[in-house]
Structure 1
Amino acid sequence: MSGDRSSQRPPVLRRLLRRDRVTGQIAVGLVGVLCVSALVYGVGIAGSRYKLADVGAWLTATAKGVVVHANGPAGKVDGKAPMIPQMRGHRIKVVQDGTTVLLVDETTGVVSRIDPSQLKVEQSRVLGGVGLQVLVGQGGAYSVDPAKGTVQRIDPVRLAAVGQPVALTPPLGQAGMDAAGNLWVPVPQTGQLVPFQGGRQGQPVAVGKAGDRLALTIAAGTPVAINSSAATASIVRSEGTRKAALPPTVTQAVRTGGVRVPAVTDGHVVPMLGTGGALFLLNTQVGQVSPIALRLPGHRFEPPNMLGPRVYLPDRSTGRLLVFNTGTGDWERPMQVTRPGGGIEVVVRDGFLWANDPGGALAFAVDSGGLVKRIQKYDDKVPGGQRRPIPTQAGAGGGGRGADNGAGRGGNDPVPAPPPRDGTPSAPQNVRVDPFNGGMRVTFRPSAGGRPTGYALKGDTAGLQVRPSRVGAGGPYQFTVTGGGCGKTYSFSVAVQYKDSNGRNAQKTSLATAPVRPCTTPVAPANFSGAPRNKSAVLTWDGSGAGVTYLLSVDGGAPVPVKSPHTVVGLRNDEKHQFRLTAQNGAGTAPARTTTVDLAYPRRQYKNANNNQTNTLIRPAPRQEGNTNIGRIPQGEYRSLTVICQVRGGDYTESETNYSSNVWNRIEWNGGIGYLHEGLMETPRTGSFPNLPLYECEN
């Protein structure tokens, strides 16, 4: 027997052991885990299968070294499985799609697969380094190494590479998978979003300039690239890319890593987090951007998420999940998820928003109606999990202090100010501006306390029409603002009016809103088409609304502003030409529309003429050279001929009518081409060259 036993090891472990010392230690640990998982962690008798709820999510419970499966409708844990010991204390991300459940160790790049039917780890491999991303969807799976810039298709069951890796320019942004299973990878160094389908790289989509700060979210299955450097959002669809302009203040977020967005959102509205907790909502269907009033300076936030009409913002400073209802325009009671400064994981899946304290005992499932279910992650009366606790280091806590307070026990809404103690009203709160084409709608929450006499709109109102001019104390609490230019931004505040203790008129003004444009991105121009003409094309389309500029690109050239209808001249005949039309205004750019115009020669049938004196000679070139010819039409004979196009050639005078010109017809003759002077044919005489509807010969 050979003394080298490395060849006897499984291929997975041989590859793991070839890594550096730390990775090698992980691989050695995997041997024990994979061999004794059934014995130590109580995953059941071999061949036993557990049925988990179809509507649920896998959540980390790192204090006990397990991941648990939570049932959303029931609000209970119905299964758990152990992590490998080497994952303890690391940042673990759960990736799940159907029955595929993967644990990604973002500290070491080790990926483990959980078999939901056996509730145990079945496979583990090193797939990358620090910050490794793993994405699964529509039967496909990829690993993305941001630091190395590599994208690798993998088998989600064996965790083995499929095909060769693709190298992009590092560092890469957070990737995402669309509804069709296509992978999209932001490449900030090139300003592009790079797609992959079936492991193959597709045509990149330009979403900015090289070096721009990019973020990606998948909204309703569609990739949306947020460019913090340029303050734009690119909504990438098969019919084209719509580009929406974001508030100029978005660029301030570049200093802190850029605007933060959820990895995935079920609906068409994307919540965005800017500098200092600035919140915006982007409606990807119309390109509308609306700010949400939030003033909590100094707090640390995680990316916002959205389910139904509510925005959920994890506030790590307080350990709470802040909840904003876009339907009512109010902040609702927050959810206490963990202790102040603790971790909060939020994911939207299967119609539920899951809020989890990785190190604590509690998690929360919130349905689209806002109903909250508390989940005890460490419930032992469920299948799987450990049969004895994993030893912990002395002094290591469970990390769950404060989480047991539950949802809504952390006090009232942290955003609106409480009523002043002096009996005067507070300033109006939650001032929100929703733009529409031609104007903006300003809504607000009325003042608390005191005796308001009314409310007035303040800010950039010069030159605008504000209705009503004043809102009564009883509401309705909104103003409609019309006028203004789409290329400008406007910011507003609302002042509450009241009588002070001396009976004098007084007022308190809210904080100003983020700047907003009185318009939304235009729709793509419809019915874009072109009619061919000689060396030109007449383009027409349906308008996209008032205040819209149209940019036209011809055969890939630089775009120029145009109006409908527009005639493009100087084109080459007998060729196809591509036209690309884009509608834009101050709010953004609609998806481009394209059309192709074919300037093929319009071949027409005409008879020969003036053939009564002698035979008509068919010339090999557009000129008379003695009796040189390639054929002849006998004297007195008239036949229908196909005219291809017209060309200027040698001067010629037709003897019967004494008509002179240098215009010749190129005709089809015996399977080839020949030339006849226009005086010898019944072609049109329009006084121009060529004689329409014929085209000029260009080849």
Structure 2
Amino acid sequence: MNGDRSPARDAGPRGVLRHFRRDRLTGQLAAGLVGVLCVGALVYGVGTASAKYRLADVGAWLSAGAKGLVVHANGLAGKVDGKAAVVPQMRGHHIRIVQDGTTVLLVDTDTGVVSRIDPSQLKITGSRAAGGPGLQVLAGSGAAYTIDSVKGVVQRIDPLTLAPAGPAATLTAPLGQAGIDGKGGLWVPVPQSGQVVPFQDGRQGTPVTAGRGGDRLALTIAAGTPVVVDSTSATALVVRPDGTQRITLPAPVSKAANGVRMPPVADGQVVPMLGAGGSLYLLDTGVGRVESVALRVPHHAFEAPNVLGPRVYLPDRTAGHLLVFNTDKGAWEAPIPATRPGGTIEVVTRDHMLWVNDPDGALALALDPNGAVKRIKKYDDHVPGGNRRPIPIKARPGDGNGNRNTGGGPGHGGNDPVPPAGRPPRPPAKQDPTAPDPPTPIASGDNGSIEVRFTPAVQPQGVYPVSRFVLLGADDRLVKGATPAQFPGNAPGGTFTVGGLACGSRTYEYKVAAEYKGKNGKTAYSPSGTVGATACRAPGPPTTLRATGVNHGATVTWAKSSGYDVTYNVTWQGGSTSTKGTSANVSGLTNGTTSHTISVTAHNGAGDSTPVSISVTLDPNQHTVVYNGHNNNSTTTVLHSGVGKNAPRDGTFPKGFTGQVTVICQQQSDSVTDTDDPSLKSDIWDKINYGGRVRWVSDLYVATPNSNAGTFSSPKVWGCS
């Protein structure tokens, strides 16, 4: 009898307003206008409590503390269309206004009390103690949360009743400023673990690692997408639904003692960041590009920058101005007066408009994406709310004539004290008063080079003429190899290029100087501030990803990513590989019906792309091979319903069988020795389709390529598992 002959074993206008109501990405953080409101019965002095008003859909609530009011401004008309008085007994508290559609919440960050305003009646409809000092409250896409940053407690609330909605979650305190993304998901930075924790519908999700434990993390929501900046490591993490992208930032970012300053919400994909010494960085999350811009007054005290349209608005509290940088022109525009020097500047982006307010001032600003400015008279009496009765205010030392935000101190940008009210302070005096003003440079990197664009300053009268513009290093020496080497003194601007640089994490720093003939005809320089960039930008994701299954693996191909000096990192469960090419072989996968996910990420010295993934199912039934029977000369060969000698019998090959069978796959099991020829041994079993049924037989009796050698027939025949 041959070998296995025994049983085997197992085997229009209104349309515009509707558009604005739909798009609330810019109003989804509790960064609404930090002011000093007094929270109480808002019906004081505004007529009958039952009066109902229709407020503009495109607008914002603003504090008007000098006269004890909170007003609603119409952004399109540039006018106040609703107002309410506040109770004077609570003056001096710090209040945030949280706005999302018809949800308007007042947060007393001194006491942790949250109150809801009914915009249709201009009155508070409820209040609740929701935490302690420093409480965060966020609202967006119909959801609302309270976050006790000190205790680490995250609680979803009903935005109408303010009552808790579901169980609370406790994270490791202290927590960073949180945000709500474009799909209503809450993101909470946890610096102690270096992670940002998501919540959806009140349920905690899987944390995303943004840095190391103890790193300085800051969060913004850019065009609805979370962006986490790790100031300690000078990196940014863009958290997209299909994965994260890590981007290397210029090294000076890590010098910011308390981390970079960013807006809680960015209207588009550009995230502005204010670093140490007033350095301004612009991260374009769409293409992974980082630009740095030199400030002309780096020693002023600034709030976080904001972007609307092509302009970056940097609140300068020292001067009481908005500094305006036009990214299309690469130049600073005329500053916009916003408040008294040293006053409070509250800035929020909402409904595709930028709102600027001084709670103690009489005017607020509304700016549209084109840079047009509407000045809003907050105390105009011809608005809904009836005739305002005077509110008795008992003066207290240091209070002035209204509510006041303390301003200054850590977390307000800059390290210099804010001067008292008066004339705007002048920039630091130049060593040579007759030296020309320096140009404004912008640095960005790509393809192993750095481009430094510059715009000359408009020179005042009485200064030496500029003879030429040159590129200097951070050490104030001329840069050799810059192209071109110089620009004439009357040039309207230009771009210096320094090539042949390594695409790594190193930041290359430069200045653009106006050269002139100074005293005694000697050559002198008027240098700009320092700008820096890495020599490439983070690559884009691979495209046209394809995967072809092979036995226990796959062949993966893709199209080249955008970017310079790119390496592709291919990962799968249980393995990884890297290549400079556009294909890779994946091995060690289990055959069967399991779907295997393979991810490809483009990487260079400037960061990573978002990973691109594809799934492949290794189904042996799709790769059968037809072979003939053999070694069946002396008797019949037993077939089994499962793999191995002890599996139940299920028919036979007849004696002398050499006909065709379809081999589906092979698997290792019991060793079989042929009784006619003991030299023939094998522990390989074939899963076959024979006689219209699937059965198992020892590989000794099917003429696969390696049947007489007792090994797998790979690569023609796949393994079963």
Number of matched pairs: 648
Task: Answer yes or no: is 1:446 the counterpart of 2:460.
Answer: no
SS in 1 for 2:116: strand
Q: Look up the match of 1:617.
A: 637
Residue type at the aligned position of 2:483 = R
Task: Answer yes or no: is 1:485 the counterpart of 2:502.
Answer: yes
Q: Look up the match of 1:210.
A: 213
Residue type at the aligned position of 1:523 = G
Displacement after TM superposition at 1:564 (Å): 3.7
SS in 1 for 2:277: helix
Q: CA RMSD in A?
A: 3.4
| Alpha-carbon contact 1:113-1:123 (below 8 Å) kept | yes
The within-5 A match list for 1:183-222 is 183-222=186-225
Using the TM superposition, name which of 219-228 and 530-539 deviates more.
530-539
Task: Answer yes or no: is 1:640 the counterpart of 2:661.
Answer: yes
Task: Answer yes or no: is 1:437 the counterpart of 2:437.
Answer: no
Q: Look up the match of 2:31.
A: none
The within-5 A match list for 1:301-380 is 301-380=302-381
TM-score, length of structure 1 as denominator length: 0.84
- Counterpart selection for 1:537 from 542, 548, 554: 554
Task: Answer yes or no: is 1:99 the counterpart of 2:117.
Answer: no
Task: Answer yes or no: is 1:631 the counterpart of 2:634.
Answer: no
Displacement after TM superposition at 1:595 (Å): 3.0
The within-5 A match list for 1:3-42 is 34=41, 38=43, 40-42=44-46
- Counterpart selection for 2:598 from 579, 600, 625: 579
CA distance change for structure 1 residues 325 and 606 in 2, over 3 Å: closer, same or farther?
closer
SS in 1 for 2:532: coil
Displacement after TM superposition at 1:467 (Å): 2.3
C-alpha separation in 2, matches of 1:674 and 1:385: 91
SS in 2 for 1:491: strand
Displacement after TM superposition at 1:418 (Å): 8.0
C-alpha separation in 1, matches of 2:395 and 2:228: 46
**Per-residue deviation, residues 474-500 of structure 1 (Å, max 9, x unmatched):** 324322333211113211122333444
| Alpha-carbon contact 2:278-2:295 (below 8 Å) kept | yes
CA distance change for structure 1 residues 128 and 622 in 2, over 3 Å: closer, same or farther?
closer
**Per-residue deviation, residues 222-243 of structure 1 (Å, max 9, x unmatched):** 1111111111111111121111
C-alpha separation in 2, matches of 1:697 and 1:612: 24
Residue type at the aligned position of 2:718 = Y
Displacement after TM superposition at 1:322 (Å): 1.9
Q: Look up the match of 2:717.
A: 694
Q: Look up the match of 1:8.
A: none
Residue type at the aligned position of 2:702 = M
Residue type at the aligned position of 2:551 = N
The within-5 A match list for 1:486-565 is 486-487=503-504, 488-500=506-518, 502-503=520-521, 506-544=523-561, 545-555=563-573, 563-565=581-583
**Per-residue deviation, residues 364-414 of structure 1 (Å, max 9, x unmatched):** 11222222222221222211277322222225423699xxxxxxx999996
C-alpha separation in 1, matches of 2:613 and 2:444: 32
Relative contact order higher in (CA < 8 Å, ≥ 6 apart): 2
CA distance change for structure 1 residues 299 and 536 in 2, over 3 Å: closer, same or farther?
same
Q: Look up the match of 1:300.
A: 301
SS in 1 for 2:508: coil
Displacement after TM superposition at 1:263 (Å): 0.8
TM-score, length of structure 2 as denominator length: 0.82
C-alpha separation in 2, matches of 1:491 and 1:124: 52
CA distance change for structure 1 residues 513 and 331 in 2, over 3 Å: closer, same or farther?
same
Displacement after TM superposition at 1:290 (Å): 0.8
Residue type at the aligned position of 1:268 = Q
| Alpha-carbon contact 1:234-1:242 (below 8 Å) kept | yes
CA distance change for structure 1 residues 612 and 211 in 2, over 3 Å: closer, same or farther?
closer
CA distance change for structure 1 residues 585 and 350 in 2, over 3 Å: closer, same or farther?
same
SS in 1 for 2:531: coil
SS in 2 for 1:63: helix
C-alpha separation in 1, matches of 2:340 and 2:644: 95
- Counterpart selection for 2:233 from 226, 230, 233: 230
**Per-residue deviation, residues 259-290 of structure 1 (Å, max 9, x unmatched):** 11001110111110112222111111111111
Q: Look up the match of 2:13.
A: none
Q: Look up the match of 2:3.
A: none
SS in 2 for 1:102: strand
C-alpha separation in 1, matches of 2:675 and 2:550: 29
C-alpha separation in 1, matches of 2:511 and 2:220: 31
Task: Answer yes or no: is 1:65 the counterpart of 2:68.
Answer: yes
CA distance change for structure 1 residues 397 and 509 in 2, over 3 Å: closer, same or farther?
closer
C-alpha separation in 2, matches of 1:659 and 1:119: 96
Identity %: 46
Displacement after TM superposition at 1:547 (Å): 0.5
Residue type at the aligned position of 1:466 = A
C-alpha separation in 2, matches of 1:560 and 1:378: 64
| Alpha-carbon contact 1:81-1:121 (below 8 Å) kept | no
Residue type at the aligned position of 1:596 = S
Using the TM superposition, name which of 212-221 and 685-694 deviates more.
685-694
| Alpha-carbon contact 1:95-1:135 (below 8 Å) kept | yes
Residue type at the aligned position of 2:509 = S
- Counterpart selection for 1:683 from 681, 689, 704: 704
| Alpha-carbon contact 1:622-1:664 (below 8 Å) kept | no
SS in 1 for 2:400: coil
CA distance change for structure 1 residues 387 and 556 in 2, over 3 Å: closer, same or farther?
farther
Residue type at the aligned position of 1:432 = I
Residue type at the aligned position of 2:497 = T
CA distance change for structure 1 residues 696 and 221 in 2, over 3 Å: closer, same or farther?
closer
Task: Answer yes or no: is 1:81 the counterpart of 2:116.
Answer: no
Displacement after TM superposition at 1:220 (Å): 0.9
Residue type at the aligned position of 1:594 = S
**Per-residue deviation, residues 485-544 of structure 1 (Å, max 9, x unmatched):** 11132111223334446555x130414523211211101122334333233332322222
Residue type at the aligned position of 1:473 = G
Unaligned runs of 5+ in 2: 1-37, 405-420
C-alpha separation in 2, matches of 1:613 and 1:532: 38
Displacement after TM superposition at 1:646 (Å): 5.0
CA distance change for structure 1 residues 452 and 360 in 2, over 3 Å: closer, same or farther?
closer
SS in 1 for 2:253: helix
C-alpha separation in 2, matches of 1:297 and 1:463: 24
Residue type at the aligned position of 2:687 = I
Task: Answer yes or no: is 1:466 the counterpart of 2:466.
Answer: no
Q: Look up the match of 1:16.
A: none
C-alpha separation in 2, matches of 1:49 and 1:188: 45
The within-5 A match list for 1:355-434 is 355-384=356-385, 387-394=388-395, 396-398=399-401, 421-422=433-434, 425-426=435-436, 428-434=438-444
Q: Look up the match of 2:48.
A: 44
Using the TM superposition, name which of 338-347 and 206-215 deviates more.
338-347
| Alpha-carbon contact 2:567-2:578 (below 8 Å) kept | no
Displacement after TM superposition at 1:316 (Å): 2.0
Using the TM superposition, name which of 448-457 and 205-214 deviates more.
448-457
| Alpha-carbon contact 1:615-1:635 (below 8 Å) kept | yes
Residue type at the aligned position of 2:303 = E
Displacement after TM superposition at 1:622 (Å): 8.5
Residue type at the aligned position of 1:483 = G
